Amino acid sequence: MGVVLDFAALQMQILARGWLVYQMTSSPLALGLVTVGWGLPVLLFSLVGGAVVDRVPKRRIIIGTEAIFSLVSFLVAGLILSASVALWHLVSAAVVMGLAFTLNGPARMSFIPELVEKDGMMNAYALNYAGLNLMRVAAPAIGGLLVAVIGVGWVYLLTAFLYGLSTLTLTLVGVKGESNHQGTSLATDLRYVMSFVRGSPTVPYLLGMFLGVSVLAMPYMFLLPVFAADVLRVGEVGLGWMMATMGLGAVVGTLAVASLGDYRRKGLLLLGLALLFGLSLLLFSLSTVFALSLIALLMVGAGNMGYMAVNQALLQSHTPSELRGRVSSLTMFSFGMATLGVLGFSALAEVWGAPLSVGMGGVTLLVVALLSVLRPCLRNIR
């Protein structure tokens, strides 16, 4: 329940912040700068965050960082409602939340194995993503409507409340036994996890695919306000429907993955979902009709979150329990790298337009996925 509340707040805030920034600046590059404010701390400190997560009970970390999310959202809401907000406020808030996420992200991803057994892990991750993405259906649609009716400031205040409620519900979660270790330095911990990754036959490829998808394709999410305002001309309510449609696709994709259970050809499944993601992203970039764009976004959501669920399940199942926080932090590092991709794609959108920028990301992802199919070490992952 806490995860669902957290993700509802996140989806509303992404919509409200993106719309606010674009209305303030009319600049795709400004959208990229705010995203980099979040991603740069993730890029710089995620590995340290993962080492900390393996030392401290994960539930405690999640509760503390959720409280930070709530406080920052409340402060930004006050700035917006008092008509004092400036772009640097939003960038600064993104930096603080990015720092908190260097702990929150690895803790959340490595917390699930402490709740389920290994043979149910792919199913658990898929169901977890399905629950999250139910909020990707409801929260953006509601958020877009609320932005139009009551304004961005009150939506931010609502997200602060949701983050706070998530903090409270997490105190009720029971675990089968939290794994954390102490006794070595952080530097030793980091060297150990890098040694494990280099020696693993599967983990480097899974991390590489995660990085490729994050950098090449994920920037599209942060350019959606440009499509809503200038390409499709559907306003903030239309932006909410676009994000909700992606969420519906994500629910379909993750539930489809969950229905497979302990599917043996996981490597081929992963690559197939990456191909679906790239192709549907290309189709979205080419559309100028709102209904067709929604259909493309439905497929984008299915490919995107289905891929993430399978990738995370494989990473966690191929990682010893004492290293899961640090390996999860490597995927957070990929998210940080993705924000540099956002800045690059935003700069390209500033000059040549958002459709070309997103289309290039989709084509590049298609090429990477097709080349990956040729590698037996990826095809044969189970």
Average pLDDT by consecutive 10-residue portion of the chain (382 residues)? 75 87 87 84 79 77 90 95 93 92 79 59 61 68 84 92 83 56 63 80 79 77 87 88 85 79 71 89 94 94 84 78 71 72 81 89 86 65 62
Cα gap 25→18, rounded to integer Å = 11
Q: What is the per-residue pLDDT for 28?
A: 85
Q: How many domains does the chain have?
A: 1
Q: What is the per-residue pLDDT for 368?
A: 82
Q: What is the per-residue pLDDT for 372?
A: 72
Cα gap 195→75, rounded to integer Å = 42
Instruction: Tell me if 192 is assigned to some domain.
Output: no
Q: What is the per-residue pLDDT for 97?
A: 92
Residue 350: its H or E element:
helix 324-352
Instruction: Tell me if 180 is assigned to some domain.
Output: no
Instruction: Tell me if 84 is assigned to some domain.
Output: yes
Cα gap 258→66, rounded to integer Å = 27
Q: DSSP readout, 120-179?
A: GHHHHHHHHHHHHHHHHHHHHHHHHHHHHHT-HHHHHHHHHHHHHHHHHHHTT---S---
Q: What is the per-residue pLDDT for 232?
A: 93
Q: For position 85, which CATH number holds? A: 1.20.1250.20
Instruction: Tell me if 75 is assigned to some domain.
Output: yes
Q: What is the per-residue pLDDT for 227?
A: 93
Q: How many CB atoms lie within 10 A of CB 187?
A: 10
Q: What is the per-residue pLDDT for 154?
A: 93
Instruction: Tell me if 279 is assigned to some domain.
Output: yes
Q: What is the per-residue pLDDT for 96?
A: 95
Instruction: Tell me if 181 is assigned to some domain.
Output: no
Q: Which domain holds residue 260?
A: 2-171+201-379
Instruction: Tell me if 220 is assigned to some domain.
Output: yes
Instruction: Tell me if 182 is assigned to some domain.
Output: no
